[in-house]
Amino acid sequence: MKAAIIGCGNIAQVHASCVNEMKEHEIVAFADIDAEKARTMSLKYGGGAFSSMEKLLEKTQVDILHICTPHYLHAPMAEYALRFGVNVFMEKPPVINEEQHAMLRELRTNKQLGVCFQNRYNQSFCKVREMLLSGKAGKIRGARGIVTWNRQEKYYAESLWRGRLALEGGGALINQSIHTMDLLNVLLGGAPDAVDAAIMNHHLIDKIEVEDTMSAYIQYGAIPVCFYVTTAYSSDPDPIIELDCERMKIRIEGPNVIYFYLDGKIESLTAESKNNPGKKYWGAGHKLCIAEFYECVLGKKKFSLDLDGIESTVCLMLGAYKSARERHTIVLNAC
């Protein structure tokens, strides 16, 4: 199949590398409003260089378009490409507000839309999910997720859209920790009932419009989930997910999984994927995620991370922001 990439920033390098390794597929074009970025990518991987998605699609036959642009462009670009008759694989987040969410949900097309929630392919996450499904851990009684990363003013100054609410949609949650929220949501069964959240800005006050910190209390029936994320830390350690189960406590920390048994026994394992492209804390699942999407398009099978597959996480994310901005608990079971 023939692929193209729109948006030639950091994450586009990962997408291009992954597609380039799949020898049965070919990257035929790149597009970016910065013509030099598109030209640099085309010189490295081959294919044409364009200044817009519209020109790329008009001039080039494309089966799959990768959307790696700023957040606010993801949904409208996906809509345009799908209506044009091209399958779309987009970076997170799929939407930045309820209006974009509704627009994509109402869109009817025979082409596939996939979202890059690559951390669902992390081996540590897969091992824990297998443990839960086996019943050995017992029922989950509670859970927590913690992300403490570092983003300084320079990070936001590198682009015109970061840190601006209308263009980014948010900060520490939608940009840095949506994957951790997604993994928690999947492990808890993907049916949150309510969320009560608060957003703060501790270290970049008057520098950015979005939050550098969020805390959230999420309810799955009687199961409490505590979620905390900040970009005011000193470095970028692996996120922590911890499950308090009937027969053990389970902790995921990057590629590491630790089982704490009730009798005091501790068992640990490392389930790290090799040859991970991109930054370490992006996770190791890009190759598997992209490869599965291509297989589904070729085989005309439903991709697991389409809008239906990530619906509850999107509702939870949007609900958390609504709760924080309106300052009350948001009921989610109708989403």
Percentage of the chain beyond pLDDT 90 is 94
Gap between the Cα atoms of 292 and 295, Å rounded: 5
pTM reported for the whole predicted model: 0.94
Do 117 and 314 form a contact (C-beta atoms < 8 A)?
no
Task: Give yes or no for residue 280 having a pLDDT over 60.
Answer: no
Distance in angstroms (rounded) separating the CA atoms of residues 320 and 331: 10
First to last CA, the chain: 35
For domain 2-115, the CATH class is alpha beta
| Residues 190-217, mean pLDDT to the nearest whole number | 97
d(Cα 177, Cα 171) in Å, to the nearest integer? 9
Instruction: Give pLDDT tens digits for 109-118.
Output: 999 999 999 9
Per-residue confidence (pLDDT) for residue 334, from 0 to 100: 55
Residue 333: pLDDT band with limits 50, 70, 90: confident
Class of residue 234 by CB neighbours under 10 A (exposed 0-12, middle 13-18, buried 19+): exposed
Each residue's pLDDT tens digit, 124-168: 999 999 999 999 999 999 999 999 999 999 999 999 999 999 999
- In whole angstroms, give the CA distance from residue 87 to residue 106: 17
Per-residue pLDDT reduced to its tens digit, 186-200: 999 999 999 999 999
Examine residue 76 and say whether the peptide bond preceding it is cis (omega within 30 degrees of 0). Answer: no
Nearest CA among 279, 296, 186 for reference residue 241: 186
Per domain, the residue ranges of the chain are 2-115, 119-280+305-331
CATH architecture for segment(s) 119-280+305-331: 2-Layer Sandwich (3.30)
Helix or strand holding residue 14 (H, E): helix 10-21
